[in-house]
Structure 1
Amino acid sequence: MIVVFGSLNVDLVTPVERLPGAGETVIGPAYALHPGGKGANQALAARRAGAEVALVGAVGRDAFADIALSLLAADGVELSHVARAEAPTGAAFIAVDAEGANQIVVAAGANALARAEVLSAMTLGEGDILLLQREVPEAECLAAAERMKRAGGRVVLNLAPAGPPAEALLGCLDVLVVNEHEALVLAQSLGWPEREPDDIARRCDAERGIACIVTLGAEGAVGWHGGVRRRLAAPAVAVVDTVAAGDSFTGAFAAALSAGYGFSGALQRGLAAGTLACMVAGAQPSVPRREAIEALVGESFI
């Protein structure tokens, strides 16, 4: 089973011709309302990729809560560990330009009240994976990671949004997933001079014993595990937007690990899922299913 401890949001997505600069207003024609949040997105991605998934987090008691939970419930993610808090459901405000790039502002809301103590009531073991991000309190992420490590399971952290991870949290990790910007933040926080994503991932693996993957957008991904480098090019597709591409990658990667694939096979499935997510607008509506992921893996990597 995969346990995702993370955020649940509603996403308000607006298409714009170009992204605004500081102090600038850009007008979009309309907006769409979608369920989102990195925790929820990755839980849905892992579930659609074939894993059994339980989500731990918090929503409010407002109308947005039902929207935030809707696709998760429809796809069979276990939601009994999602608390109803006395705070508004988290929200993300997303602008997407004509090239598919985005700017995102997130209001934490109920996500700030997510608590790791919920994991104490769950039966966890060696075959389980805890999937973490950085949209809920880091102290709670650490408590959740420590609980999973005591149970003998594995811990995967997606260092998003970017920020310096606590040393204690790094000590609990089996796998770290970052994009190019997050890789630089990681290196700077550790006092490393490396600036190339490949070099940062290699050092993370060699010195910390943490398998590290850097997603490279249209250039694919590079990963280091046990001193071995894997580099995959991304399949060429028509990009609609990149919202939830990273979450689709991470959820599908974790699902493949849970299914027994090795690091390379999981990397292939993560990259296929992230690529497919770029072809559909929105966050959770763009998360692909296992059949599409396996078809693209067969076309591109085998």
Structure 2
Amino acid sequence: MAPQPVIRVVGSLNIDFVTRTPRVPGPGETLQATSLTVHAGGKGANQAVACGKAAFISQTQQDVTVDMIGAVGKGDPYYASLLKPTLEKSGVSTTGVEEIEGVQTGTATIIVDEGSGGENRILVVPGANHEVKDLEQLLSVVTRKGDPDVMVLQGEICRLMVLALLNLFNAPERHTCIVFNPAPVFSEGIPIEALQSLGVLVVNETECLLLFKVVEELNGVEVPREEDLDKAHLDRLTKHLHDLARISIIVVTLGSRGVYYSTDISGQDGFVQNRGLVPAVKVKQVVDTTAAGDTFVGYFATALARHLAATHELAGFDVAGAVSKANKAAARCVQRNGAMESIPFGYE
């Protein structure tokens, strides 16, 4: 029997303090909220849980191995009683999570505005997530038992570590496909050089416009506004990114407008280009959008890992099919409360 494909998620682990409120208070205003709950969270951990849950083809069987790599504060009771068990129940190995003495686990304060359909505002304190700065030690964990088939990266850990991993694993001698979701975008930005030969880039509308700013400054073209961001603009940006950085797959999540994708994948007949827009899945009621984007990334990465395990190359990957399934998972997620607990299992 062939070994299972392996996904390693290098990213943040947080404790989420979620306050639900009828509206967001104004400056200097005290407002009575609806509730306060504590959840396991962090973009890295959310995406690891999404990968782990997506890998369940039945209630007892996973067809993809998922490892979480990151850091928490040593002795944190929330990690032992909440975060770690949540990851493990979702089919995610936590052996790559380091417990660091003298620092706190990352936290996120999430305000869910019930009056605007569950939109959220998030304040993050990085804590241990920004304390992983030893590249050699990190590499020893990432490459334990060999390189993974897929590595998932986001923007809630140290920028230098993310850029270093992109540089190392995008090299042709590596056999790992990186799925990079630069969220939140680093304040110093993402240099185009860091995206060279990237496998998959996943961004939302806001992150897409920040990339537009970087690319269009090079080309002297005006950057569109978010409300004007249409398929023609996306075609232009993705063409630039394919040409400048040789990114194979670019995915832009557009909320209620669906998901745009563009591919430029090397195959036997040269580079195969394909573009499309997958419509959004309609839902009866949006309850909480907290982990929708992370659910999408996790389901997409899992579909990619399955493909790579079978073919060992990006050529032939059904991007539209992966986007469609990830869309459906994200749609189910937003109809539930919370972050990790709202992410559906693959067999659902």
What is the TM-score when the length of structure 2 is the normalising length?
0.79
Deviations 1:263-299 (A, max 9, x none): 222111221121111011111011111122xxxxxxx
2:46 to 41, 61, 78: 41
Partners of 1:53 and 1:253 in 2: CA distance:
14
Aligned to 1:60: 73
Q: Which amino acid aligns with 1:181?
A: T
| Matches of 2:153 and 2:184, distance apart in 1 | 11
1:20 deviation in Å?
A: 3.4
Which residue of 1 is the match for residue 59 of structure 2? none
The whole-number CA distance in structure 2 between the counterparts of 1:108 and 1:119 is 21
Asked if residue 137 in structure 1 is aligned to residue 158 in structure 2, the reply is yes
Tell me which of 95, 116, 125 is aligned to 2:111: 95
Moved over 6 A (4+): none
**Judging changes above 3 Å, is the alpha-carbon distance between structure 1 residues 75 and 139 closer, same or farther for their aligned structure 2 residues?**
same
- Structure-1 residue corresponding to 2:311: none
* 2: CA distance, partners of 1:19 / 1:30: 14
- Using the aligned pairs only, state the percent identity: 35
Q: How many residue pairs get matched?
A: 291
Correspondence for 2:302: 255
Q: Give yes or no for contact 1:119–1:147 (8 Å, CA) kept in 2.
A: no
After TM superposition, the structure 1 stretch with the greater mean CA deviation from structure 2, 45-54 or 203-212, is 203-212
Worse-superposed segment, 158-167 or 135-144: 158-167
Q: Equivalent residue for 1:109?
A: 127
Q: CA deviation at 1:159?
A: 1.5
SS in 2 for 1:239: coil
Q: Partner residue of 1:230?
A: 276
**Distance 1:18-1:120 versus aligned 2 partners, 3 A rule:** same
2:175 is equivalent to residue 152 of structure 1: yes
Matched to 1:205, the amino acid is: H
Is 1:243 aligned to residue 243 of structure 2? no
- Kindly indicate whether the alpha-carbon contact (under 8 Å) linking 2:192 and 2:245 is maintained by their aligned counterparts in 1: no
Deviations 1:29-85 (A, max 9, x none): 221100000000000101111131111100012112222222101222111111001
Residue type of the alignment partner of 2:258: G
After superposition, the CA RMSD in angstroms is 1.9
Extract unaligned runs of 5+ from structure 2.
1-5, 56-63, 265-272, 308-316
Q: Aligned partners of 2:23, 2:296: CA distance in 1, in Å?
A: 26
Alignment correspondent of 1:166: 191
One-letter code aligned to 1:96: V
1:213 partner SS = strand
Inter-CA distance 123–95: structure 2 relative to 1 (3 Å threshold): same
1:19–1:103 Cα contact (<8 Å) kept: no
Structure 1 residue 124 displacement after superposition: 3.2
Larger-Rg structure: 2
**8 A Cα contact 2:13 2:71, kept in partner:** yes
Instruction: Give 3-state SS (helix, strand or coil) of 2:347's partner.
Output: helix
Give yes or no for the alignment of 1:85 onto 2:71: no
Question: Following TM superposition, by how much is the alpha carbon of 1:259 offset from its aligned partner in structure 2, in angstroms?
Answer: 1.0
Q: Secondary structure at the match of 2:93?
A: coil
Shift of 1:245: 0.1
Query: Deviation string for 1:199-256 (max 9, x for gaps)?
Result: 2334323443222111111221111112311211111112111010000000110000
- Counterpart pick for 1:283 among 339, 342, 347: 339
Q: Scaled by the length of structure 1, what TM-score is found?
A: 0.90
Residue deviations 1:153-173 (CA, integer Å, cap 9, x gap): 111110211342133421252
Instruction: List alignment gaps of at least 5 residues for structure 1.
Output: 293-302
Partner of 1:295: none
Moved more, 128-137 or 262-271: 262-271
Q: Secondary structure at the match of 1:114?
A: coil
Q: Is the 8 A contact 1:197 1:214 kept in 2?
A: no
| Cα deviations by residue, 1:145-200 (Å, 9 ceiling, x for unpaired) | 33433432111110211342133421252111111011111111332634226423
